[in-house]
A and B are shown apart, each in its own frame.
Chain A
């Protein structure tokens, strides 16, 4: 916790909140959503701050949303003779954070890449906002966060954060989020002119998050973005991600191996079986919003982790028919 606490201590205190734990934006330790005031323009700026989304009443974010944001229907994937996914059906509603959990090699990343339009499915369909995933990609409706930060070493922190705004400019929404405000929210203002090699792993991953949020896309697809980080930094990152997502009503599809990560940030956790991956369980995470670090010490949190562990073990026991050399 030291790194997270240290970061909170050095972060500036915003005007509407007495906590020191406010990084110039949404406070992690209170329900004040004033951080959006610092993030001007575009989707971030124009998004109405709905306090219901960030108070304790909003235990089921997205559950009241009638619109299916991401629809996955009968998606399968084969790599040659290897079946990676058997038919997967899943609906993600607007504003929900849905985590895909499963044993190694079960097809989590493959499913995410199919949704992102980076991989073609063998059969089935994916729609995002009623469009196919390739159209969503062309329109920059989806922010993709890969496992590695994938920062360009010749670009400074600020230039890296602007990267996705700088390419395919025609598809940019009218007003884009303010990159400097986002950097301030993640505590990297003083590093805006630094190069990636001058940052720690956690800081690099924060830049990758800012880069995705700077796109102003309503959907985020995240492929184990914190997998390479140490446990303390990893915890910091999930607190940060939750704090960034909640006030924006961002729809997130998140792939992870980590049970605490899945429970902390998610509204629903989808458990996949061993390869070929199929949905074996969907667990609703009915924990209060906003998600604060203290939540991880509650019995409800542990209870959900236990439930997911059992689902995961049960799913891992269900061996599929794919051979052992398949792609994860």
Chain B
């Protein structure tokens, strides 16, 4: 029954995707939309088919920037989040900085990042990590604070160390909210990577070629880099959802009963 439900869901998702592509293709052709404004999917596919290695190589570069940035950010944020969850004054003190990171436009400070770290990968990875930190930290703090009070008391009753409470209780309790943040941060990190690649004077990555194509009025390359970035984002989301299903199989959000 469960597999039938999943098959039906996959079928509906496929039908939705096909409908979207068909409407897109039809609309662009019917309205004769300028290619720089919107390219029909068929032309993106043919541009990709003309030089697949070019797009695949650059997609891989962007994927690497995303993966390294988001992973580094997660590692740092869990440490920060654990500290903030343990000491409330520290949490209050950190709020201005976290909110500032969250609301300040990247374009406002990307030049400063390039001046500090130089062009290329270091600046790109830094921006990806930097913009995803608040999401991870907020998720970690709220998840750790939400650990079952009765279980916390149980740990206290046998004088468990802070480390044991962190790794055996608080961190697993924070996993559901961390995964929720992951879904948002994957999209945010990808946008940051695409933007930073175009703004840090590099020749690698979808963002770098997308920006160059926009400047030189090359719609096929511009839109195909966008398509590749979108496919990369979907793949990353699928990976996160798969990991979530596996690691949180005990959690109410992953259960059908």
Residues of A whose CB lies within 8 Å of any CB of B are 116-118, 137-138, 140, 142-144, 146-148, 150, 152-154, 163-164, 166-168, 171, 195-197, 215
The CB with the most chain A CB atoms within 10 A, among B148, B154, B169, B251, is that of B154
Q: Which of B153, B160, B250, B251 contacts A146 (CB 8 A)?
A: B153
Q: Is there an interface contact between B153 and A150, defined as CB atoms closer than 8 Å?
A: yes
**CB 8 Å contact bits of B238-253 with A (1 = contact, 0 = none):** 0000000000011110
Q: Is there an interface contact between A137 and B153, defined as CB atoms closer than 8 Å?
A: no
Cβ of B159: which chain A residues have Cβ within 8 Å of it? 137-138, 140, 168, 171
- Name the 3 nearest CB pairs between A and B, nearest first: A144-B157, A150-B150, A167-B160
Interface contacts beyond A146-B153, A152-B148, A154-B175: sample of 17 additional A-B pairs, CB < 8 Å, sorted by A: A117-B157, A118-B153, A118-B157, A137-B156, A137-B157, A138-B159, A144-B154, A144-B157, A144-B158, A148-B148, A150-B150, A152-B168, A154-B172, A163-B154, A163-B168, A164-B154, A167-B155
Cβ of A146: which chain B residues have Cβ within 8 Å of it? 150, 153-154
**B161 contacts partner chain A, Cβ-Cβ < 8 Å:** yes
Q: Is there an interface contact between A164 and B158, defined as CB atoms closer than 8 Å?
A: yes
Cβ of A140: which chain B residues have Cβ within 8 Å of it? 158-159
Cβ of A152: which chain B residues have Cβ within 8 Å of it? 148, 151, 168-169, 172
Q: In the complex, how many angstroms separate the beta carbon of A85 from the nearest chain B beta carbon? A: 19
- In the bound assembly, the distance between CA atoms of A152 and B168 in angstroms comes to 9
The CB with the most chain A CB atoms within 10 A, among B158, B159, B252, is that of B158
Nearest CB in chain B to that of A141: its residue: B158
Q: Is there an interface contact between B156 and A167, defined as CB atoms closer than 8 Å?
A: no
- In the bound assembly, the distance between CA atoms of A196 and B252 in angstroms comes to 11
Cβ of B255: which chain A residues have Cβ within 8 Å of it? 197
Cβ of B57: which chain A residues have Cβ within 8 Å of it? none
- In the bound assembly, the distance between CA atoms of A144 and B155 in angstroms comes to 10
Contacts known (A118-B156, A140-B159); A154 close to B250, Cβ less than 8 A: yes
Q: Which of B150, B160, B168, B251 contacts A153 (CB 8 A)?
A: B251
Contacts known (A147-B150, A148-B150, A150-B151); A197 close to B157, Cβ less than 8 A: no
Contacts known (A118-B156, A150-B150, A150-B153); A167 close to B168, Cβ less than 8 A: yes
- In the bound assembly, the distance between CA atoms of A131 and B188 in angstroms comes to 56
Cβ of A144: which chain B residues have Cβ within 8 Å of it? 153-154, 157-158
- In the bound assembly, the distance between CA atoms of A12 and B115 in angstroms comes to 74
Q: Is there an interface contact between B252 and A142, defined as CB atoms closer than 8 Å?
A: no
Q: Is there an interface contact between A195 and B158, defined as CB atoms closer than 8 Å?
A: no
Find residues 217-257 in chain B having any chain A CB closer than 8 Å to their own CB.
249-252, 255
Cβ of B153: which chain A residues have Cβ within 8 Å of it? 118, 144, 146, 150
Q: In the complex, how many angstroms separate the beta carbon of A33 from the nearest chain B beta carbon? A: 28
